[in-house]
Amino acid sequence: MVQLGCIEINPWNSKVSHLDNPDWIVIDLDPEGVGFDKVIKTALVVRRVCNELGISSHPKTSGKTGLHIYIPTNAKYSYKLVRQFAGQLAETIHQQAEDFTSIERSPEKRRGKVYIDFLQNSQGQTLAAPYSVRPTKEATVSTPLHWDEVEKGLDPKKLTMKDIQSRLDKMGDLWQPILEAGVDLSKILKKLD
């Protein structure tokens, strides 16, 4: 049923009320023939770069093999500006982790690396929604995380539809901060230049 689109939800990065302005920037970490440990290592570089720039960032599992890192924008910027910023951010992250990351779009050219996909910040692009069940044998869920969970041993296959409600009851909605105050891109772009 998930494969038929009956369960899985893949929304745009913007709401109907402001389709031209995304609610967030996303960095999609997509492993190409490497283990999840490299995804975690890359995510921690993303976090460090964001912290250095004074950016609030929020991880979630993709529900499959990758991680998504979200930066709230509060729908203040156009897709064009958000994508430009995401590209600069991806380049900065890649420079600090060239041994195991790539910003190369072609899968053949990034084998054995974690792809830092910033192109997901285009209008009409979609990613698995938070708390969406994914088409896997385990019925994994795309799960928002605390940064302290992003460490060796994190296994997205253990975040399933059987466990998500108890996790929500215990931790609350970790997605809520993404829908609140956003980053000041003009200030951050000056730091990146």
Question: Cβ(20)–Cβ(79) under 8 Å?
Answer: yes
For the chain, which domains are there? Answer: 16-192 (3.90.920.10)
Structure confidence by residue, pLDDT tens digits, 92-111: 999 999 999 999 988 888 88
pTM for the structure as a whole: 0.93
What are the distances in angstroms from CA 177 to CA 15, 70, 88, 183? 16, 10, 23, 12
Q: Report the candidate in 126, 127, 129, 171 with the shortest Cα–Cα distance to residue 147.
A: 171
The answer to whether 94 and 101 have CB atoms below 8 angstroms apart is: yes
Q: How far apart are CA 144 and CA 163, in angstroms?
A: 13
Determine the Cα–Cα distance for residues 113 and 103; give it in Å rounded to an integer: 9
Closest by CA to 83, choosing from 96, 71, 95, is: 71
Task: Quick: pLDDT tens for 56-72.
Answer: 999 999 999 999 999 99
Helix (H, G, I), strand (E, B) or coil at 170: helix
Contact present, 12 and 123 (Cβ < 8 Å): yes
* Residue 132 reports pLDDT greater than 70: yes
Please give the mean pLDDT across all residues of the chain: 92
Question: What's the DSSP call for residue 92?
Answer: H
